[in-house]
Chains A and B, each alone.
Chain A
Amino acid sequence: MGNDGKVGDGMLTINTLGKFQVMNAENVMNEDDIRSPKLTNLLVYLIVHRDRTLTLDDMAEALWQEEETNNPSGALKNLMYRLRNLMKQYLGNEEFILTNRGSYRWNPDVAVTADFEEFEKMYQQSRQKNISDADAIHFLEKSVDIYQGDFMAKIAEMNWIITLNTYYHSMYLSCVKKLCELYAKSELYDELDYLCSQAINCENLDEDLYYYLILARIKRNKMNLAMESYEKACRILKDQLGIRNSPKLCSIYDEILKMNKSAKADKIEEVREDIAEENPEGVFMCGYPVFREIYRLEARKISRLGEAEHILLLSLNSKDDESGAVSQADHFRIKNAMPHLEETLKKSLRIGDVAAQYSDSQYVILLPACTYESGMLVANRIVSKFYNDNKIYRNLKIKINLEEVEMAGNIIS
Chain B
Amino acid sequence: MFGEKKYYPMNGFRVCVDTAENDIIGVAYSPLESGSINYKGFNDLLLKMDSIFDRSGYPQSFQEKRSFRSEKKTQQPYKGIPSNNQRTAEIFDKHGVLATFDVIITSRRNTSWQGKVYAENGELAGNFDGEIELLDFLLSEKK
Contact = CB atoms under 8 A, between A and B. Distances in A.
Contacts of A330: none
Contacts of B137: none
Contacts of A307: 59-60, 78, 80
Given A369-B78, A404-B109, A306 B63 contact: no
Interface string A256-271: 0000000000000000
A302 B77 contact: no
B64 A306 contact: no
A373 interface: yes
Nearest to B10: A306
Contacts of A371: 60-64, 75
Contacts of B108: 308
Interface string B52-65: 00000011111110
A183 B71 CA distance: 71
Contacts of A217: none
A63 B59 CA distance: 79
Given A302-B107, A303-B106, A303-B107, A308 B77 contact: no
A410 B44 CA distance: 28
A310 B64 CA distance: 13
Contacts of B78: 306-308, 369
Interface residues of A, number: 15
Contacts of B11: 306
Interface residues of B, number: 19
Interface in B29-68: 58-64
A307 B60 CA distance: 5
B105 interface: yes
A20 interface: no
Interface in A148-164: none
Interface string A298-334: 0000111111101000000000000000000000000
A372 interface: yes
B75 to A, nearest CB: 8
A306 B58 contact: yes
Interface in A368-386: 369, 371-374
A372 B80 contact: no
A334 B108 CA distance: 37
Interface string A204-220: 00000000000000000
Given A306-B58, A306-B59, 4 more contacts: A303-B107, A308-B78, A371-B61, A372-B62
Interface of A: 302-308, 310, 369, 371-374, 404, 406
Query: Lowest 7 CB-CB distances: which A-B pairs, in order?
Result: A306-B59, A369-B78, A308-B60, A308-B62, A373-B64, A306-B11, A372-B63
27 contacts: A303-B106, A304-B106, A305-B80, A306-B11, A306-B59, A306-B78, A306-B105, A306-B106, A306-B107, A307-B59, A307-B60, A307-B78, A308-B60, A308-B62, A308-B108, A369-B60, A371-B60, A371-B61, A371-B63, A372-B62, A372-B63, A373-B63, A373-B64, A404-B62, A404-B109, A404-B110, A406-B109
